[in-house]
């Protein structure tokens, strides 16, 4: 049992080094210009170690995004309000949308990599909530907050709509131009309109 502990420590150190190296490379190169060999060299590990831990380049990118989103997940689950429990659903929704914009703004290269992978390798009938765990959490939390505030809404669909634009190249370009606050303000306006809009009568 004790013989395994140094290996676990080495594995954790290697994982951190690989993720950090990937993040640094994404800050300097386009996603399609980064290879597993480059990541391994920058992290100071063997190429086989990178493949063993993450499977593929996109597996590595997804792991990095999950790592970056972990702090947000923890803040939502156990952090102080309004992002964490204890605030009204409407306030939590606005705070969460702000937090998502912040995560995306700080990880533009990573989101570009994942978006490129989606357009080239994703199956057309693949549900993004299960294909991408980060998206699944974001979508589920938004849907839950919408339902708590407006149980009459189709919260599942509305959550997809609120998140859809954040995956577009146009939005990433805006963020590259330093327009994160503009994007956050627009999302808040959409969410407020949604929360206060009258229910559409579809019976006629």
95 inside domain: yes
Q: pLDDT digits over 27-40, tens only?
A: 788 777 889 999 99
Q: Which residues contact 90 (CB under 8 A, 6 or more apart)?
A: 145, 149, 192, 195
Higher pLDDT, 109 or 79: 79
**pTM of structure:** 0.71
Residue 49's pLDDT is what?
A: 94
Estimate the crossing angle of helix 36-43 against helix 4-28, to 10 degrees: 120
Residue 168's Cβ-side half-sphere holds a number of Cα atoms within 13 Å equal to 9
45 secondary structure, DSSP code: S
Residue 51's pLDDT is what?
A: 94
Domain span at residue 36 reads 1-55
110 inside domain: yes
CATH number where 13 lies: 1.10.10
Q: pLDDT digits over 177-197, tens only?
A: 889 999 999 999 999 999 987
Question: Helix, strand or coil for residue 55?
Answer: coil
Position 112 confidence tier, pLDDT thresholds 50, 70, 90: low
Residue 193 CA to residue 158 CA, distance in Å, equals 12
Domain closes at, from 18, 39, 55:
55
Q: Do 1 and 85 sit in the same domain of this protein?
A: no
């Amino acid at each position: 049992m004790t013989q395994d502990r140094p290996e676990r420590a080495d594995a954790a150190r290697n994982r951190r080094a690989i993720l950090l190296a990937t993040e640094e490379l994404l800050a300097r190169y386009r996603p399609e210009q980064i290879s597993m060999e480059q990541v391994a060299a920058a992290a100071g590990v063997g190429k086989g170690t990178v493949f063993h831990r993450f499977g593929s380049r996109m597996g590595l990118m997804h792991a990095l995004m999950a790592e970056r989103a972990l702090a947000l997940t923890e803040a939502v689950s156990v952090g102080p309000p309004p992002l964490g429990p204890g605030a009204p659903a409407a306030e939590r929704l606005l705070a969460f949308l702000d937090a998502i914009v912040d995560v995306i703004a700080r990880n533009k290269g990573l989101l570009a990599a994942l978006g490129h992978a989606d357009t080239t390798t994703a199956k057309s009938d693949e549900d993004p909530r299960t294909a991408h765990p980060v998206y699944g959490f974001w979508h589920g939390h938004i849907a839950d907050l919408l339902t708590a505030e407006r149980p009459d809404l189709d919260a599942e669909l509305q959550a997809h709509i609120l998140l859809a634009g954040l995956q577009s190249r146009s939005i990433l370009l805006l963020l590259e131009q330093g327009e994160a606050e503009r994007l956050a303000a627009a999302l808040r306006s959409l969410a407020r309109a949604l929360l206060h809009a009258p229910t559409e009568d579809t019976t006629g």
